[in-house]
Amino acid sequence: MRALGLATFLAILAIADDTPVSPRPTPTDYPAHDSLKTAAIAAAIVPPEQVKKIFSADTAKTYVVVEVAVYPQAGSSLDVDLIDFALKTGEQVVRASEPRDIGNAWPSAKNPSIGSRGPNVTTEAGVIVDRETDPITGRPRTSVGTYEGVAVSNYPRNDPPPPPPSKNSGDVDDKIRKMALAQGPAKAPVAGYIYFRYHARKQDAFTLNYTNDDGSIDLKFPSK
Protein backbone atom coordinates (compact mmCIF):
# COMPACT_ATOMS: atom_id res chain seq x y z
CA MET A 1 0.00 0.00 0.00
CA ARG A 2 2.90 2.37 0.76
CA ALA A 3 4.35 1.86 -2.75
CA LEU A 4 0.98 2.48 -4.35
CA GLY A 5 0.48 5.61 -2.30
CA LEU A 6 3.89 6.93 -3.35
CA ALA A 7 3.15 6.14 -7.00
CA THR A 8 -0.13 8.01 -6.85
CA PHE A 9 1.54 10.98 -5.16
CA LEU A 10 4.25 11.13 -7.83
CA ALA A 11 1.65 10.96 -10.60
CA ILE A 12 -0.31 13.85 -9.08
CA LEU A 13 2.90 15.83 -8.58
CA ALA A 14 3.88 15.33 -12.23
CA ILE A 15 0.48 16.59 -13.39
CA ALA A 16 0.68 19.61 -11.11
CA ASP A 17 4.11 20.51 -12.53
CA ASP A 18 2.91 19.91 -16.10
CA THR A 19 5.76 17.44 -16.72
CA PRO A 20 5.78 14.22 -18.75
CA VAL A 21 4.13 11.26 -17.05
CA SER A 22 6.50 8.98 -15.14
CA PRO A 23 5.99 5.21 -14.92
CA ARG A 24 4.92 3.89 -11.53
CA PRO A 25 7.44 1.69 -9.69
CA THR A 26 6.00 -1.63 -10.92
CA PRO A 27 3.33 -2.81 -13.39
CA THR A 28 1.23 -4.07 -10.47
CA ASP A 29 0.76 -0.46 -9.34
CA TYR A 30 -1.72 -0.13 -12.20
CA PRO A 31 -5.24 -1.60 -12.10
CA ALA A 32 -4.62 -3.50 -15.37
CA HIS A 33 -1.36 -5.19 -16.39
CA ASP A 34 -0.04 -8.16 -18.34
CA SER A 35 3.19 -9.34 -19.96
CA LEU A 36 4.53 -10.40 -23.33
CA LYS A 37 7.90 -11.91 -24.18
CA THR A 38 9.77 -8.61 -24.32
CA ALA A 39 7.80 -6.29 -22.03
CA ALA A 40 5.08 -5.81 -19.45
CA ILE A 41 2.24 -3.43 -20.29
CA ALA A 42 0.23 -1.68 -17.57
CA ALA A 43 -2.57 0.85 -17.78
CA ALA A 44 -5.19 2.91 -15.96
CA ILE A 45 -8.06 5.00 -17.28
CA VAL A 46 -7.73 8.65 -16.33
CA PRO A 47 -11.07 9.77 -14.80
CA PRO A 48 -12.94 12.35 -16.94
CA GLU A 49 -12.94 14.82 -14.04
CA GLN A 50 -9.15 14.65 -13.96
CA VAL A 51 -8.90 14.96 -17.77
CA LYS A 52 -11.04 18.11 -17.53
CA LYS A 53 -8.71 19.63 -14.94
CA ILE A 54 -5.51 18.72 -16.80
CA PHE A 55 -6.63 19.59 -20.33
CA SER A 56 -10.15 20.91 -21.00
CA ALA A 57 -13.84 20.05 -20.78
CA ASP A 58 -13.92 19.38 -24.54
CA THR A 59 -11.09 16.87 -24.24
CA ALA A 60 -12.90 15.07 -21.41
CA LYS A 61 -16.11 14.88 -23.46
CA THR A 62 -14.49 13.72 -26.69
CA TYR A 63 -11.67 11.39 -25.60
CA VAL A 64 -11.05 8.48 -23.29
CA VAL A 65 -7.57 9.07 -21.87
CA VAL A 66 -5.56 6.04 -20.75
CA GLU A 67 -2.33 6.20 -18.79
CA VAL A 68 -0.08 3.48 -20.21
CA ALA A 69 3.29 2.26 -18.96
CA VAL A 70 5.68 -0.02 -20.82
CA TYR A 71 8.30 -2.03 -18.90
CA PRO A 72 10.81 -3.69 -21.27
CA GLN A 73 12.31 -6.91 -20.01
CA ALA A 74 15.93 -6.65 -18.87
CA GLY A 75 18.24 -6.63 -21.88
CA SER A 76 15.34 -6.08 -24.29
CA SER A 77 14.26 -3.08 -26.32
CA LEU A 78 10.66 -2.45 -27.36
CA ASP A 79 9.56 -0.23 -30.20
CA VAL A 80 6.62 1.74 -28.75
CA ASP A 81 4.06 2.60 -31.42
CA LEU A 82 0.52 3.95 -30.99
CA ILE A 83 -0.69 1.72 -33.82
CA ASP A 84 -0.24 -1.27 -31.48
CA PHE A 85 -2.87 0.03 -29.04
CA ALA A 86 -6.66 -0.12 -29.35
CA LEU A 87 -9.52 0.49 -26.93
CA LYS A 88 -12.39 -1.99 -27.03
CA THR A 89 -15.88 -1.52 -25.62
CA GLY A 90 -18.52 -4.04 -26.60
CA GLU A 91 -18.20 -4.65 -30.33
CA GLN A 92 -16.51 -1.31 -30.98
CA VAL A 93 -12.75 -0.94 -31.43
CA VAL A 94 -11.20 2.54 -31.28
CA ARG A 95 -7.68 3.19 -32.51
CA ALA A 96 -5.34 5.59 -30.70
CA SER A 97 -5.29 9.19 -31.92
CA GLU A 98 -2.08 11.04 -32.70
CA PRO A 99 -1.48 13.75 -30.06
CA ARG A 100 -0.91 16.36 -32.77
CA ASP A 101 -4.47 15.80 -34.02
CA ILE A 102 -6.02 16.54 -30.63
CA GLY A 103 -6.75 19.86 -28.96
CA ASN A 104 -8.67 23.03 -29.58
CA ALA A 105 -7.48 23.82 -33.09
CA TRP A 106 -9.31 26.62 -34.87
CA PRO A 107 -11.44 24.99 -37.61
CA SER A 108 -10.55 26.32 -41.04
CA ALA A 109 -13.84 25.44 -42.72
CA LYS A 110 -17.15 23.74 -42.12
CA ASN A 111 -20.29 22.86 -43.98
CA PRO A 112 -22.86 25.65 -44.30
CA SER A 113 -25.34 25.66 -41.47
CA ILE A 114 -29.03 25.07 -42.09
CA GLY A 115 -29.77 28.72 -41.37
CA SER A 116 -27.45 29.81 -44.22
CA ARG A 117 -29.14 27.74 -46.92
CA GLY A 118 -31.36 29.20 -49.68
CA PRO A 119 -33.39 30.77 -51.00
CA ASN A 120 -30.92 33.63 -51.03
CA VAL A 121 -31.48 37.02 -52.64
CA THR A 122 -28.50 38.98 -53.92
CA THR A 123 -28.39 42.40 -55.54
CA GLU A 124 -25.71 44.05 -57.62
CA ALA A 125 -25.15 47.42 -59.24
CA GLY A 126 -22.39 49.03 -61.25
CA VAL A 127 -21.24 51.47 -63.88
CA ILE A 128 -20.65 50.60 -67.55
CA VAL A 129 -18.10 52.63 -69.52
CA ASP A 130 -18.08 52.09 -73.31
CA ARG A 131 -15.51 53.62 -75.66
CA GLU A 132 -16.15 53.60 -79.42
CA THR A 133 -15.62 55.59 -82.62
CA ASP A 134 -18.36 57.96 -83.79
CA PRO A 135 -19.39 56.67 -87.27
CA ILE A 136 -20.14 60.22 -88.48
CA THR A 137 -17.21 62.26 -87.20
CA GLY A 138 -14.71 59.44 -86.90
CA ARG A 139 -13.73 60.71 -83.51
CA PRO A 140 -13.57 58.49 -80.37
CA ARG A 141 -16.41 58.93 -77.91
CA THR A 142 -17.18 57.60 -74.46
CA SER A 143 -20.59 56.66 -73.15
CA VAL A 144 -21.40 55.95 -69.49
CA GLY A 145 -24.33 53.95 -68.11
CA THR A 146 -25.41 52.20 -64.96
CA TYR A 147 -26.94 48.83 -64.26
CA GLU A 148 -28.56 47.00 -61.35
CA GLY A 149 -30.04 43.55 -60.89
CA VAL A 150 -31.56 41.09 -58.44
CA ALA A 151 -30.91 37.34 -58.35
CA VAL A 152 -32.53 34.52 -56.35
CA SER A 153 -30.78 31.16 -55.76
CA ASN A 154 -30.82 28.13 -53.50
CA TYR A 155 -27.06 28.06 -53.05
CA PRO A 156 -25.91 28.29 -49.41
CA ARG A 157 -24.35 31.45 -48.09
CA ASN A 158 -20.90 31.22 -46.60
CA ASP A 159 -20.99 31.12 -42.83
CA PRO A 160 -19.07 33.84 -41.00
CA PRO A 161 -15.53 32.87 -40.00
CA PRO A 162 -15.24 31.00 -36.69
CA PRO A 163 -14.07 32.91 -33.64
CA PRO A 164 -10.32 32.93 -33.00
CA PRO A 165 -8.95 30.22 -30.72
CA SER A 166 -9.00 30.92 -27.00
CA LYS A 167 -5.80 32.14 -25.39
CA ASN A 168 -5.27 28.87 -23.53
CA SER A 169 -5.90 26.53 -26.50
CA GLY A 170 -2.18 26.44 -27.26
CA ASP A 171 -1.48 25.50 -23.65
CA VAL A 172 -3.89 22.56 -23.91
CA ASP A 173 -2.26 21.37 -27.13
CA ASP A 174 1.19 21.56 -25.52
CA LYS A 175 0.03 19.54 -22.50
CA ILE A 176 -1.56 16.89 -24.71
CA ARG A 177 1.68 16.38 -26.63
CA LYS A 178 3.96 16.68 -23.60
CA MET A 179 2.04 14.10 -21.55
CA ALA A 180 1.50 11.63 -24.40
CA LEU A 181 3.20 8.22 -24.42
CA ALA A 182 6.51 8.69 -26.22
CA GLN A 183 6.95 6.59 -29.36
CA GLY A 184 10.13 4.88 -30.46
CA PRO A 185 12.65 2.37 -29.05
CA ALA A 186 12.50 1.96 -25.26
CA LYS A 187 15.03 0.07 -23.13
CA ALA A 188 13.80 1.48 -19.81
CA PRO A 189 10.25 1.88 -18.44
CA VAL A 190 8.25 4.67 -20.09
CA ALA A 191 4.76 6.02 -19.44
CA GLY A 192 2.34 8.54 -20.85
CA TYR A 193 -1.20 9.17 -21.98
CA ILE A 194 -2.90 7.62 -25.00
CA TYR A 195 -5.99 9.37 -26.35
CA PHE A 196 -8.94 7.49 -27.84
CA ARG A 197 -11.66 9.51 -29.53
CA TYR A 198 -14.84 8.19 -27.97
CA HIS A 199 -17.81 9.73 -26.15
CA ALA A 200 -17.78 7.53 -23.07
CA ARG A 201 -20.83 6.68 -20.99
CA LYS A 202 -20.74 5.79 -17.31
CA GLN A 203 -21.81 2.20 -17.97
CA ASP A 204 -19.17 1.55 -20.64
CA ALA A 205 -16.62 -1.18 -19.85
CA PHE A 206 -13.23 -0.80 -21.53
CA THR A 207 -10.43 -3.16 -22.49
CA LEU A 208 -7.05 -1.98 -23.76
CA ASN A 209 -5.62 -4.26 -26.44
CA TYR A 210 -1.91 -4.32 -27.20
CA THR A 211 -0.65 -6.29 -30.19
CA ASN A 212 2.86 -6.60 -31.59
CA ASP A 213 5.07 -9.27 -33.14
CA ASP A 214 5.30 -11.09 -29.78
CA GLY A 215 1.55 -11.58 -29.49
CA SER A 216 -1.53 -9.85 -28.15
CA ILE A 217 -2.86 -9.07 -24.68
CA ASP A 218 -6.08 -7.55 -23.37
CA LEU A 219 -5.98 -5.34 -20.29
CA LYS A 220 -9.46 -5.29 -18.79
CA PHE A 221 -10.17 -2.34 -16.58
CA PRO A 222 -12.15 -2.89 -13.38
CA SER A 223 -15.87 -2.12 -13.62
CA LYS A 224 -16.89 1.23 -12.20
One pLDDT digit (tens) per residue for the chain, 224 residues = 344 444 444 444 444 445 789 999 999 999 999 999 999 999 999 999 999 999 999 999 999 999 999 999 998 899 999 999 999 998 899 999 999 988 644 444 444 444 455 566 666 666 666 667 777 777 777 666 665 766 666 655 555 554 544 445 678 999 999 999 999 999 999 999 999 999 888 778 999 999 999 899 999 998 76
Give how far Cα 51 sits from Cα of 45, 54, 55, 72, Å: 10, 5, 6, 27
Question: Is 64 within 8 Å of 88 (Cβ atoms)?
Answer: no
| Same domain flag for 139 and 119 | yes
Are 73 and 141 in a shared domain? Answer: no
Closest CA to 25 of 217, 142, 138, 191: 191
The full DSSP string for 36-97 is: -SSEEEEEEEPPHHHHHHHT-HHHHHHEEEEEEEEEEPTT--EEE-GGGEEEEETTEEEEEE
127-170 residue pLDDT tens: 666 667 777 777 777 666 665 766 666 655 555 554 544 445 67
**Residues in the chain, overall count:** 224
Q: What residue numbers bound the domain in which 40 lies?
A: 2-106+167-220
Do 186 and 89 fall within a single domain? yes
Q: Structural domain tally of the chain? A: 2
